[in-house]
Structure formats: C-alpha cells, structure tokens
C-alpha cells in the first residue's frame, strides 16, 4: 500500500500533537520556538547600559552554578536557569590576548571597554606598550567607553567584589603598563622617578566629565597612607607611601559625595545621593559564602547593584554601569569550586536585581566573562546527582547505582575537577570518606599548580534590551565595545570633543606576576 505525501504529513502532525500533549520536553521545545519567532531587532538606541562581568565565569562554571542553585532549592538542578540565561540573545567571544593564547583579566577587560585587544597584564594601553614600561605609555592610551560616556554627560559607576583598583574595574578608568601598580608602593623605581600615577590615584584624579558617580567594592588600603589604621581591622594599615589620603581627596574633589565602609553606612545612604564611594574591605570583599561573618558587614553584590542603579538612574541622559563578580575567579584559582559557584549564583542574583529595577525598553543588559577557568564536569553522574558530590552512575537499566562509581583504580571521584591547581595529589586520594560538598573542599587537579590557571576557551555573552540583537555569532572580544557603542547610538554620530584632560602618562620596569590575576 502506497502512502501519499498528504497522508504522511497528516499522520506526522497528529503524532506531533500527541507528543506535545504527552511529552513535556516536546511541548517546551515548541514554546521556545514560538518565543524565538517573536524576537525582533530592537534598533532604538539604549539610554542605559549595564555591563555584567563574571570574572572567570566560563561555560563550565555557568553550567555547574545553574545546577547547584537548583539543588540548593531541593530540585535536581539541571533544569534550572540562572537569571541571565533567560536573556534572548547569546554569543561567544574569543578571549586571547595579543601575546598570550590563554588570557589575563587586564588585557581582556581592555578589549571589552576600548574595542582593541592588547597584551596580558596591561590596562588601557595598546599592544605596542611593553609590560612595565610606563615611559612608553604616552600616546598609546586607549579611550574607554566610560570616558566617552562621561564626556557625553552620562552617569557612570563601578560595582565589584574585588578591590576597586583591581584589573577589571581599573579597565574602566586606568591606563597602565602594569596591572599590579594599584598603589604607589607597588610602582617600580623608574615609574616613581617620573611620577607615574598608580591605578588608585588614576581613579581619584580621573579627568573625564565630572568623574565616576558610584564606586563600590573593596580595597581601602590602596587609598590610605601607611600610618593610618583601618577602621574595621585596626591591625591593618593603608599601603600608600606618599602619605596621601585618597578617600579624603575623592570627597574634596566631588562636592556632595558620600563615603561608606560598612553595612550600616551603606544601608543609610539614600538613592537621592549624587555620588557614592563605598570601600567595604581593606582588600577584596568576602566570598559570598563568608560574607555573613564579616566584622562590619558587607552588602551583597545584588544590593550594591540595586543601590548603584537607583543613584545613577536619576540622570535623564542615562548611565553606564560595570558590575563585576570578581571573586568567582579567585575561588577557581584556589581550586575551590564551592565558593566559585556560590559567587556565580550571587552574580546571577545581581543580574536579577538589575532586571527588576530597569526598563527593558531603555536599558541594555550585557552579561559576559573576561575568560574561563580549567574546571571540568565529567564522569557519567545520574540525573540530579549533587554537582559537588561524588559521581553516582546509572546501572545497565539506566537507574542510579547504590554506591559511587569507582575510577579504574577502584576509588570514588567527583563530578567537578580541575585540569591544574592546588588540588593535585599523587596518588589521587580516595574521595570516598571525604565530604566533597563542604565549602573548603578543593577539587582534584590533574597537574600541580600553586594557583589554578585561566583557560583559553571562548566565553558566552548574554544580552537583552535595545541593541541586544547585535550580540550574535562568534566574535573577537573587542567586538563587545563596538556593539555597545552601536547600541547606544554613538557609533552613528561624530565623537564629541574632549572636555576633560587625557589620562596622565608615563614609567618603567617589569613587575612580578600576581597570584590573583
């Protein structure tokens, strides 16, 4: 019996309808297609841009954090969505520096906010500047998106869980041949000889427009002289050798500014405040897991993001805000997946807070990473297996086994591991008697390194709002700047004339690599 095409088509459609009724995966797929069909390019210029950067948040980190967040709610986890994964447009970017296959945060952040790739370890300067050669900086500074925003009268801000002078936030305002020059004590002798400004000084003296309006993060010590005691930890002093109090200078330069250093002060600041500087630790802020134990109290990344939006959104010309989940990276360097993933969840909470506080018709939200890490998700764990736990596989019938799966040497192993890092031991210890879900557990590593390294893989970009359709395909990381400029409508206009001075120039001498890069 021969079947006509019409009969076959009718039978197929009928089967599909039955599948949709009986199979939730099929129905969910159809719904997703319908949502995709409704997407249209929003070519209106964005009034505001929030750039979220999860430092070190590669795809394996996103996947593992997604699962962990769901499991912390008592779900299996795989079906969960982080807040930014609901954004409609997704892209991938290539992260290499001009001189390194696997990048660092200074070169990658420079690419994102200037539109030009550069060397590892340098900030806001082009690839012709040798690392540590401040005398060669003059004439090679790269204009940042935030500098242009300030010249246009747009409000600007930084929110981070790292020191505000660290590589990623410094990319907003800094121009330095060495990312480690966060205070004058860290400068090379050659740099000091020509009075090259350290990164914290560059933040305070930033000459563009009327300066940054909101700065929230850690790093009090780089603002304060060595003789001054920290207000939260009296045994800690400032690190500046020039005797300058840059917090006092920040306040003097910006009438109406408010400075806070603890949770109580932060909570008391009204959103009607015109300018806010918050420095909640002498060094980096706490990991999310440890934040509740802080002596003076720290706001969460979501709370800082919400406060910044409230202050910046008062400008009718719009705002440009960087929000960095910076300690994702630091936990990975420690080989500690628990803190990396819980900081990623906190980062997702900050994106959710921004989505709730902004109008999607006027605010472009872009979420990305500067680079990935060598975290892997491996083995054949059964569905819903604890992402931080030992691998429990399925039996021949596809059902979970009663005990953890052994490796070929007969020892249990974890789903998460690192290609390198401090978790290396030889021979690999038996994970059986160990609580691998504990916050302080370090995942096993294949190669010993005192600090786990970055990876060279592409990282994702998630975008929603006006101009978000521009974030598509596989792009160079420097493309992000150009897409942001286009989304703001600035790419269609002649650049404004400079109203502020150019960044200060000059100095020299290589500095040592830093473990928190």
Higher pLDDT, 375 or 3: 375
Kindly state the DSSP code that residue 418 receives in the 8-state scheme: E
Q: What is the pLDDT of residue 284?
A: 98
Mean pLDDT of the residues in the chain:
92
Query: Domain residues of the chain, as ranges?
Result: 48-374+454-492, 378-452
Is there a catalytic annotation at residue 105?
yes
The Cα–Cα gap between 395 and 306 comes to 48
Q: Among residues 205, 163, 69, which one has the least CA distance to residue 502?
A: 205
Residue 507: the pLDDT is 33
Q: Would you state the pLDDT for residue 426?
A: 86
Residues 6+ apart with CB under 8 A from 270: none
In this prediction, what percent of the chain has a pLDDT beyond 90? 88
425 has pLDDT over 80:
yes
Distance CA 93, CA 79 (A): 25
427: confidence class by pLDDT, cuts 50, 70, 90: confident
Q: Which of 4, 60, 91, 105 is catalytic?
A: 105
Structure-block tokens of residue 35:
């949502």
pLDDT, tens only, 132-146: 999 999 999 999 999
d(CA 80, CA 370): 24
Tell me the average pLDDT across 266-288.
97
Average pLDDT of the residues in 319-346:
98
CB atoms within 10 A of CB 132: 23
Query: Could you tell me which CATH number the domain at 48-374+454-492 has?
Result: 3.40.720.10
Where does the pLDDT of residue 5 fall: very low under 50, low under 70, confident under 90, or very high at 90 and above? low
């Amino acid at each position: 019996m021969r079947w006509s095409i019409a009969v076959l088509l009718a039978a197929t459609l009928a089967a599909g309808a039955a599948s949709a009724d009986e199979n939730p995966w099929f129905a969910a797929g159809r719904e997703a297609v319908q949502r995709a069909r409704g997407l249209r390019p929003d070519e209106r210029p964005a009034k505001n841009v929030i750039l979220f950067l999860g430092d070190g948040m590669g795809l394996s980190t996103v996947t593992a954090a997604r699962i962990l967040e769901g499991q912390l709610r008592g779900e299996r986890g795989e079906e969960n969505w982080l807040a930014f994964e609901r954004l409609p447009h997704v892209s991938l970017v290539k992260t290499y520096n001009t001189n390194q296959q696997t990048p660092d945060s200074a070169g990658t952040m420079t690419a994102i906010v200037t539109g030009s790739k550069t060397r590892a370890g340098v900030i806001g300067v082009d690839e012709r500047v040798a690392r540590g050669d401040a005398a060669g900086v003059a004439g090679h500074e790269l204009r940042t998106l935030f500098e242009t925003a300030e010249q246009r009268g747009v409000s600007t801000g930084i929110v981070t869980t790292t020191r505000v002078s660290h590589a990623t936030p410094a990319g907003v305002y800094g121009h330095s041949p060495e990312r480690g020059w966060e205070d004058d004590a860290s400068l090379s002798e050659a740099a000091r000889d020509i009075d090259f400004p350290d990164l914290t000084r560059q933040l305070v003296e930033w000459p563009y427009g009327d300066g940054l309006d909101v700065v929230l993060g850690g790093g009090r010590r780089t603002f304060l002289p060595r003789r001054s005691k920290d207000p939260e930890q009296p045994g800690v002093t400032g690190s500046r050798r020039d005797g300058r109090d840059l917090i006092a200078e920040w306040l003097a330069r910006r009438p109406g500014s408010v400075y806070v250093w603890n949770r109580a002060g932060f909570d008391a600041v009204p959103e009607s405040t015109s300018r806010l500087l918050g420095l909640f630790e002498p060094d980096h802020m706490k990991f999310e897991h440890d934040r509740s134990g802080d002596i003076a109290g720290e706001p969460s990344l979501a709370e800082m993001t919400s406060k910044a939006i409230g202050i910046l959104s008062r400008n009718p010309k719009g705002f440009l805000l960087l929000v960095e989940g910076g300690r994702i990276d630091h936990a990975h360097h420690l080989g500690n997946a628990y803190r990396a993933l819980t900081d990623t969840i906190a980062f997702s909470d900050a994106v959710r807070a921004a989505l709730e506080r902004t109008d999607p018709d006027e605010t472009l939200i872009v979420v990305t990473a500067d680079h990935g890490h060598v975290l892997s998700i491996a083995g054949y764990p059964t569905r819903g297996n604890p992402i931080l736990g030992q691998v429990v596989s399925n039996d021949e019938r596809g059902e979970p086994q009663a005990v953890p799966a052994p490796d070929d040497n007969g020892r249990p192993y974890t789903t998460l591991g690192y290609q390198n890092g401090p978790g290396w031991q030889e021979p690999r210890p038996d994970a059986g008697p160990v609580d691998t879900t504990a916050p302080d557990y370090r995942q096993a590593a294949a190669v010993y390194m005192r600090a786990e390294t970055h990876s060279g893989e592409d990282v994702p970009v998630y975008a929603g709002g006006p101009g978000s359709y521009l974030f598509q395909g596989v792009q160079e990381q420097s493309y992000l700047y150009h897409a942001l400029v286009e989304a703001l409508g600035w790419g269609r206009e002649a650049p404004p004339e400079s109203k502020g001075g150019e960044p200060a120039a000059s100095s020299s001498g290589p500095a040592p690599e830093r473990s928190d890069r």
